[in-house]
Amino acid sequence: MATQKRKPSILDIGSAASKESSSHGSIQIAEDSQSVLLSLPSGASAKVLLYGATVVSWKIKDRELLWLSEASALDGSKAVRGGIPLVFPVFGPPPAGTPVESLPQHGFARTSKWNLLGRAEDEEGSVRVDFGLSPDSLDGETKAKWAYDFGLIYSVTLRESSLETKIVVQNSGSGAFDFNVLFHTYLRIPDVSTIGVQGLNSLTYRDKTLGGTEHQESSEVIKITSQTDRVYKSAPDAITVSEGDKPLYTVTKTGLEDVVLWNPYSDGVEKIGDWQPKEGYKNMVCVEAGSVAQWQTLEPQSTWEGGVTHKAHL
């Protein structure tokens, strides 16, 4: 997505009360100030940790739609296993010889404490919370590893049947920087053996289970029958997860190039220490919208934005 020339600025933290509500929706800040709960009169809700700005729950009428490991750390000690972790500024292990080479896998956004910026609502019955991250929010070690003058504004919008996540990346420095970004969404499903993923046919994908070799997708409906870790390049804007003829989710991306399809399956979960229950791979699939097949370059005094809407068909 082309950058837009405008002076970026991270907003100051808003005067958010512990609870705000209206006829459209409400926001509640936990007593420990570590999480935010969005809710609508329809019964839809979403919970977001300030740690990593990670969405850890999305419900419609008490039905949980995100998968979260029972062993996941939610105290800020490590990245959350499940929900919607945010990957920035690098996807996967950092390549040697690049400006991100000293960063941890998947970068620092998912392991940093974000600031709560404020809330908004609209007449259509949605509620939104904005979070911010800048160099001032990082510890000295992380800033030394990625010494750019950046700003991130991350928005989570809850609607009656959908959840939207959007990120704005700002470069307020004097030099360009490269980055990856990805919404690492763990969708909860009834049974991995009965679902199919549609919308990726004929695309080129990089298969990380086969040494990163490239292949062309030949299936109209992709079935998960073994460990799956693929990066589909230049994917269409809408991907569907279905059970038979019944759509379960539609994942619609904006300003993002690629889609990652991931399920560790039975052999992969044995290598993941915080994955519980081990059989949980049967009840999740990651359909992750992002720009990760190549670097996004952001020029000085410019912004970039991208987002994804997850719609549930209940």
- For residues 296 and 205, state if they share a domain: yes
67-125 pLDDT, tens digit per residue, is: 999 999 999 999 999 999 999 999 999 999 999 999 999 999 999 999 999 999 877 78
User: Cα–Cα distance between 297 and 291 in angstroms, integer?
Assistant: 11
164, 288, 305, 310: the active-site residue: 288
DSSP state of 280: G
Sign of CA dihedral 269, 274, 278, 281: negative
pLDDT tens-digit series, residues 240-288: 999 999 999 999 999 999 999 999 999 999 999 999 999 999 999 999 9
What's the pLDDT at 10? 35
- For residue 110, say whether it is annotated as part of any ligand binding site: yes
Q: How many domains does the chain have?
A: 2
Examine the fold and report which residue of 138, 173, 188 is the final residue of a domain before the chain moves on. Answer: 188
273 phi and psi, to 5 degrees? -65, -30
Task: Please indicate, yes or no, if residue 48 is contained in any of the structural domains.
Answer: yes
Among 184, 257, 305, 310, the active-site one is 184
Domain assignment present for residue 5? The answer is: no
- Answer yes or no: are the C-beta atoms of 217 and 201 closer than 8 Å: yes
Q: Are residues 32 and 87 in the same domain?
A: yes
| 180 vs 178: CA distance, rounded Å | 7
Pairing of strands 258-263, 213-216: unpaired
Residues 24 and 155 in one domain: yes
Domain containing 246 equals: 191-300
Do 114 and 150 belong to one domain? Answer: yes
pTM of the model: 0.93
Q: What is the pLDDT of residue 229?
A: 98
Active site residue 184: yes
Q: Is 81 annotated as a binding residue?
A: yes
